[in-house]
Amino acid sequence: MESSKQEPVEESSSAAAASGVVESTDLEPGGEILEKLKGDRIGETMYSERFVLSTVLKLPQLETPLAEDEDFEKDLCSLWDMTIEADVVLFLLKHDVVELLIGLAEGSEDHRLVEILLGIVGNMCCLEETHKVLYENNSLFLSLCGFLESSDTLTLVQLMRIFTTILDKSDDEAFCWFKVIREQEDITEKLAFILSSTTSSELIQHTLETVHAMVNRFTEAEVDYAQLNEFYKMFAKPCLIEGLMEGFKQIYPESGAVSQFEEEYLTSKDLKIIQKFLEIHENFIINANEVYADKIEAIVYCVHRILIPLSSDGSLLPISKAHVRILVCINSIYSAIVYHFHAGTFLALVKIYTILAKVQEQTGAKISEPMDADAEDDDASSDGEFDIQTALGETLETLYFMAEPIDGLTISNALRASTLNEETIAKLCTALRETMAGDPLLGRTCDLLLESARQVWGQQERGRS
C-alpha cells in the first residue's frame, strides 16, 4: 500500500544521488551520477541508501508535529512508498528499523506520524523476515496491540493492515500466531468495540478482514483440537458477533443516500466484503452456534439485506467465485438455523434461481451438487459454467431448507406478495427433485410448494373472472 499523501519530488542532478528517486536524465552511460548510484542504491532498486538512512535517523530528532515540517513529511511518505520493494524492506530490517518505528509510534501522540510509521511497518510485512522479527520479539507485537485502543481511525486502519498481512501470509510451519494472539488481553472485545463504534467504512472493512484472517488462520491452518476449542472460547463471543452486525449495518445502511442496497448493485469490492462477512458467520454458526442463541433474527436480517441487490441481474451476472462463496455461506447458515422462514429471503432466492436457471438453460449444463464446505473456492479448473451450476445447487438447497418445515399458508402469503408465477414454482420443484434426490421429505416439500402456488394463482384467476 502506498502512502496516503503523495507529492512528486523535483530534484536537481547534483542532489539526485542523495535522494530517494533519481530522474532518468541523470542516468546517462558513464555519467558521474550513475557511478555514484551504483555504490549507493539499495539492491536492484534505484533508491538511495543514504536517503533512507538519513530519513530514518531524523525520526528520533523530530520535536515538532509532523504537519509543521512539510519537507520531512514528504520524505517519510517517499520512504513509505519505497517499502513496497523487497530490497528496501530487507535493508531496513538489516538496520533494525522495525523496532525503531514501533517504539517511536508507541511514544508519539502525533496521529499523522503514527499513521505513516505503522504504514511503513505494514508494507514491510510483505516479507516473512518482518514476521520473524515481530514473532520473536513478543514485546513488539504487544506494543502493536496497544494501538487497538487508539482513537485515531487512520492509525487503526494501518494496524489492521499489519494484522491481516501477518495472518494471511505467515508460513504456518514457521510461526504459531495463536500463541502470541491469545496472550493479548481482551483482543476480541477491542476488535468488537472498533466494529460497533466506528463510523468509518474503511476501518470497518479492514477490521473485518482482520477478524476473517484470524478465523481462517486459527481454525484451518495451525491449531490442534485443544487449541481450536480455546480459539472458540476466546473469539466466539456475543460482543464480536454484535460488532460484526453493527459494522455491517454501518457499511450498508438500510436507507439513505449512501445505501448501496438502494441502488440494487454490488461492486466486486462489495462482493469481497460480503463474502468475508458471511464466511466469518458461517464458521461461528457451525462450530459455536450457541453464541447465536438470541441473534438468529440479526443474521437473517443481514442475509436478507445481502440478497436484495444480489437478486438483480446487474449484481449477479456475470457470476464469479465470490458470488458462489456467498451462496455457499448462506446455504451453510440456513442449514444451521433450520426451521426459520423469512419471506423476503425466500423470494430473493427464488429470483436468483430464475436468473441462474435461465443462464444454465442457455449453456445446456446440468445442475451440480451443492459445494462441499471444505472445497477450494479458487480452483483454477473452475469456469463460468461450473460456477453457474454450483451457485444453482447451493441456491436450491437453501430454498429447500427454508421451505421444508414451513406450512402452506406461510408460503402462499409470501408468493402472493411477489411477481412470481406458478410456472416458476413448477420449474423450481423440478430442479429441486434433481438436486435433492433421495431426501425423504422431498416429495412432501415439492407438493407443498406447488399447492401453495396453485392456491395463490387460482385465487387470483378467480378474482379476475
DSSP SS3 for 176 = coil
Find residue 48's DSSP bridge partners. 41
What per-residue confidence (pLDDT) applies to 26? 55
Sign of CA dihedral 357, 358, 360, 361: positive
List b or e across 115-141, with b for residues whose CB sees 16 or more CB atoms inside 10 angstroms: bbbbbbbbbbbbbeebbebbbeeeebb
Q: Which of 205, 198, 128 is nearest to 161 (CA)?
A: 205
List for the chain the helix, strand, coil content (%; round to 5).
Answer: 70, 0, 30
What per-residue confidence (pLDDT) applies to 382? 43
What per-residue confidence (pLDDT) applies to 16? 44
Amino acid making up residue 56: V
Residues whose CB is less than 8 angstroms from the CB of residue 113 and which lie 6 or more positions away in sequence, other chains included: 62, 65, 66, 76, 104, 105
Residue whose grid cell is 416429495:
443
What per-residue confidence (pLDDT) applies to 179? 87
- Can you tell me the distance from the alpha carbon of 165 to that of 121, in angstroms, rounded to the nearest whole number? 11
- Can you tell me the distance from the alpha carbon of 342 to that of 177, in angstroms, rounded to the nearest whole number? 40
Cell digits of residue 220? 484451518
What per-residue confidence (pLDDT) applies to 227? 77
CB 33 within 8 A of CB 27: yes
Amino acid making up residue 19: S
What per-residue confidence (pLDDT) applies to 7? 37
What per-residue confidence (pLDDT) applies to 405? 86
What per-residue confidence (pLDDT) applies to 301? 93
What per-residue confidence (pLDDT) applies to 253? 86
pLDDT tens per residue across all 465 residues of the chain: 555 443 333 333 334 444 555 555 555 555 566 556 566 899 999 999 999 999 999 999 999 999 999 999 999 999 999 999 999 999 999 999 999 999 999 999 999 999 999 999 999 999 999 999 999 998 999 999 999 999 999 999 999 999 999 999 988 778 889 889 988 989 999 999 999 999 999 999 999 999 999 999 888 755 577 778 889 999 999 999 999 999 999 998 876 444 444 446 889 999 999 999 999 999 999 999 999 999 999 999 999 999 999 999 989 999 999 999 999 999 999 999 877 899 999 999 999 999 999 998 887 655 555 555 444 444 433 446 779 999 999 999 999 999 988 889 999 999 998 989 999 999 999 999 999 999 999 999 999 999 999 999 876 554 444
List b or e across 277-309, with b for residues whose CB sees 16 or more CB atoms inside 10 angstroms: bbbbbbbbbebbeebbeebeebbbbbbbbbbbb
Query: For residue 374, what are the CA distances in angstroms to 168, 347, 350, 395?
Result: 18, 28, 26, 18
Amino acid making up residue 73: E
- Greatest C-alpha distance within the chain: 95
Sign of CA dihedral 419, 456, 416, 347: negative
